[in-house]
Structure 1
């Protein structure tokens, strides 16, 4: 952890978490509880470390479909790309934007044109998948594979039908309870698809990881491989892959108070040497209908997004934060 005091009197609190030990839900639980303790208030949720609630079945059993979500991790024999080439186009950089609620509603409407309403997350993921594919088609990466993955929290799903006590225990579980289903398409195909067509693809692969049975299978699958490092299938190759994670339900803005008032802004950050592409949506501190979007993407894709989707992704600044 690091606390930095600014000349204006403000304070920046930074916490670094290892994703092998805790997911975003757990990190949010830790910071929220820390804030409550500093206000001399009892924690609203005590973390649970009972690993037994995630115990595998005996004998272990799982669907072959788990192989479409995770794979054994094999360290690369050489870098996926030379970040010094192409004027730094492949160098991964970090940027933060905000998306107005009106734009989110518009994208959701376009993604639902096939007659089936899609969630804002599904619509946003579809839009991002398409814009990344368009960036690839606009460069020398034309007609290559483009993958997108979504992080799915299994806490509420694993407690379905097991009573209120199990539900509370799962809700307070500290650790990793994630699945990462993904879709894979060639960039040229995504370029030619409508947003609603892409949204159907997103919805379909997402549904494979939203059931209790899926997470029970995943526990068993991991148990048989627990001594080996695992990776989401979307990142098991050198193809363009983007992970999308939703943090819009986290209490970063509405409840986070260390005793001197609610936080003005909160976000995640991925170290610059990480070579995987990551996007996280967060609640806005100024407008409940807006989203804050953190991005860790190659400079080439980021510049394309800013050039062709500036109506959607607007750079976060002090004026928006009202500071």
Structure 2
């Protein structure tokens, strides 16, 4: 189980890769760093109000109306939610075609931006078909801050941040109604995705997060998109994770790996 209060996907992958090396009596290629001094907040803390558009203090859900539900009524309520884990294989050529469509406005978009734009619009269309056309559809794209925080800090800081074991994520998001996304071309949707991503890809943004989190302690935090109660899903590229053909637990190289979302989770993750 991965808990983002402790680690992010990058750290979990670092652990799995090291675990595989140790089972074969090999020294892990990357020794995790638990040094926290280089993630210390500034004094005094200072941050942009834009951080409030990314994270929010977590408020536990309260359902006083459900306290006295019978077991049968609880089962009926649970039946409203059906969790499905699906695995899709997308060919490289299809991603390239999406990238071309997403870049039609003259700005070249990455495969991540192109895929996220396509998925966002498809989810919105499914909402409209089910009659939820007036509700918001939110897409979150996780951004790793390790490389950003080591910018212009020298090779030593770069190596320390690359091996940092913990959570160094930002979770910017976009919000549109299904009808809005339906009327937009893929390239226009990609422009929206690029815009909300752009604000979360700077060193200053992650320094702001460190200071903001310091001022929020000890309150737990949550992605703003998931705090709204609206339809929200997140996309994570995992481009810097250890590739499957490098992980071997002694039984041969892995050929496939994926994530599992527990049944108690109600959010959507891709």
**RMSD over equivalenced CA pairs, Å:** 1.7
Matched, 1:209 2:200: yes
Give CA-to-partner distance per residue, 1:9-67, whole Å, 9 cap, x none. xxxxxxx3222111000000011011111222211110000111110000000011111
Matched, 1:262 2:253: yes
Instruction: Report the 3-state secondary structure (helix = DSSP H, G, I; strand = E; otherwise coil) of the residue aligned with 1:224.
Output: helix
Q: Structure 1's 84 and 140: CA in aligned 2 closer, same or farther, altered over 3 A? A: farther
Residue 37 (structure 2) aligned to one of 27, 45, 52: 52
Q: Structure 1's 206 and 228: CA in aligned 2 closer, same or farther, altered over 3 A? A: same
Residue 170 (structure 1) aligned to one of 121, 138, 161: 161
User: CA–CA distance in 1 between the matches of 2:264 and 2:250?
Assistant: 34
Would the aligned equivalents of 1:47 and 1:174 in 2 still touch at CA under 8 Å? yes
Runs of at least 5 residues in structure 1 that lack an aligned partner in the other structure: 1-15, 280-323
Corresponding residue for 1:121? 112
Instruction: Report the 3-state secondary structure (helix = DSSP H, G, I; strand = E; otherwise coil) of the residue aligned with 1:231.
Output: strand
Residue 193 (structure 1) aligned to one of 184, 203, 220: 184
Corresponding residue for 1:288? none
Residue 6 (structure 2) aligned to one of 21, 27, 38: 21
Offset at residue 272 of structure 1 (A) = 1.3
Higher relative contact order (CA 8 A, sep 6+): 2
Would the aligned equivalents of 1:84 and 1:91 in 2 still touch at CA under 8 Å? no
Would the aligned equivalents of 2:10 and 2:240 in 1 still touch at CA under 8 Å? no
Corresponding residue for 1:34? 19
User: CA–CA distance in 2 between the matches of 1:65 and 1:83?
Assistant: 41
Offset at residue 246 of structure 1 (A) = 1.2
TM-score for the superposition, normalised by structure 2 = 0.93
Corresponding residue for 2:68? none
Corresponding residue for 1:93? 84
Corresponding residue for 1:318? none
When the two structures are aligned, how many residues end up with a matched partner? Answer: 261
Q: Structure 1's 78 and 93: CA in aligned 2 closer, same or farther, altered over 3 A? A: farther
Corresponding residue for 2:101? 110
More helix by share: 2
Q: Structure 1's 68 and 180: CA in aligned 2 closer, same or farther, altered over 3 A? A: same
Q: Which runs of 4+ in 1 moved over 6 A?
A: none
